[in-house]
């Protein structure tokens, strides 16, 4: 039995899909603060298999322990946490409480239950401002916002945990920019309020839920002046979790980038989305946003060499899959 924390969220629902399709049994805990249980109902329908769901906060150590113990959990995929960079600057204490304290209580519950296999959802934000590109796992770490610092502190905590107890098997996955949706159009990204991520915002402009996209700066040293990021299809990202879970055969800590190795500019995403959707996306140019870097993309070689994993889906497929999700679910899961 695999425990997935935050399993009702955008990435979590796709990870649960990958696990169920691989024949694994899944129990999900999620406090539903930024997710919807309808995602898991759809996952089960798509797979034709059931999972177990409990509405639990990872900070409730006793409840987490009971889940691990009662359901015979053998490994944990830890996705639960707050995740908006801008919001973390406004509410830093909430991010440290949810992400860092929550992880410590989760790991404490695992220790008490003698479950020592963990896959942790980290982020490329731990790198901070790139000193060279592409970003490999040896790049110096220097997060520039509270969200990124929570991921950095958790990574260091997990490394210290292994140093103190060499029985642990830990996979740390540094995500780049998840995008897209399941090809069925039944599960996808359903942000609460105004989207923080580019593709959901673009899609909401295309369908009329948002008036226009604001592009933060067009004077970067890039081909079209807009920032460049590494967008990875969420289904590819989910498959990476399954690969690392299967790859944790020996005790140790492995840290891997999950990205495509290619960068796409904001305007390239807009143009690609317009092409696959047949809709125009209105936008306006604003000034640069504090803390943004011009270019950021992954070197995913280590994940390929270590696990045989690599991304398979293009930017056009990410846009097409997200548009299908948007058309089928104009108001997200709230129509369920």
The residue from 65, 147, 283, 297 that is catalytic is 147
Interatomic CA distance for residues 257 and 84, integer angstroms: 19
Residue 145 is encoded by which pair of tokens? 């916002």
Q: Is 147 a catalytic residue?
A: yes
User: ω into residue 134 within 30 of 0, thus cis?
Assistant: yes
HSE-CB for 71 with a 13 A CA cutoff: 24
Tell me the two tokens of residue 205.
């402009």
- Sign for the CA dihedral angle at 94, 100, 105, 109 comes to positive
The H-assigned helical ranges of the chain are 10-21, 38-47, 61-70, 85-90, 92-95, 102-112, 146-164, 198-207, 234-247, 266-277, 301-307, 315-328
C-alpha to C-alpha distances, 107 to 5, 26, 121, 280, nearest whole angstrom: 12, 18, 14, 47
- Side-chain-side CA neighbours of 261 within 13 Å: the count stands at 13
- Residues recognised as catalytic: 147
């Amino acid at each position: 039995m695999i425990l997935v924390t935050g399993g009702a969220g955008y990435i979590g629902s796709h990870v649960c899909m990958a696990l169920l399709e691989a024949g694994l049994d899944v129990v999900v805990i999620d406090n539903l603060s930024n997710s919807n249980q309808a995602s898991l109902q759809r996952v089960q329908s798509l797979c034709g298999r059931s999972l177990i769901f409990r509405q639990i906060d990872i900070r409730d150590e006793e409840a987490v322990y009971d889940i691990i113990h009662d359901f015979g959990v053998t490994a944990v995929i830890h996705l639960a946490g707050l995740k908006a960079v801008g919001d973390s600057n406004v509410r830093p204490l909430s991010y440290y409480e949810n992400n860092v304290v929550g992880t410590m209580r989760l790991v404490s519950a695992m220790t008490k239950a003698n479950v020592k296999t963990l896959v942790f959802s980290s982020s490329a934000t731990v790198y901070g401002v790139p000193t060279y590109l592409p970003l490999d796992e040896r790049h110096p770490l220097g997060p520039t916002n509270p969200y990124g610092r929570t991921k950095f502190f958790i990574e260091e905590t997990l490394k210290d945990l292994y140093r103190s107890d060499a029985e642990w098997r830990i996979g740390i996955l540094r995500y780049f920019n998840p995008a897209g949706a399941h090809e069925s159009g039944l599960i996808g990204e359903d942000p609460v309020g105004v989207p923080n991520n580019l593709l959901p915002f673009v899609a909401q402009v295309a369908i009329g839920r948002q008036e226009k996209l604001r592009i933060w700066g067009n004077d970067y040293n890039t081909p079209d002046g807009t920032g460049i990021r590494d967008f990875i299809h969420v289904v590819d990202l989910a498959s990476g979790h399954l690969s690392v879970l299967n790859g944790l055969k020996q005790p140790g800590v492995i840290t891997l980038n999950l990205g495509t190795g290619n960068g796409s500019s904001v305007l390239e995403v807009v143009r690609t989305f317009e092409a696959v959707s047949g809709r125009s996306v209105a936008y306006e140019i604003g000034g640069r946003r504090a803390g943004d870097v011009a270019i950021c993309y992954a070197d995913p070689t280590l994940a390929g060499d270590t696990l045989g994993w690599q991304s398979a889906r293009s930017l056009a497929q990410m846009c097409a899959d997200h548009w299908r999700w948007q058309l089928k679910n104009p108001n997200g899961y709230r129509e369920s």
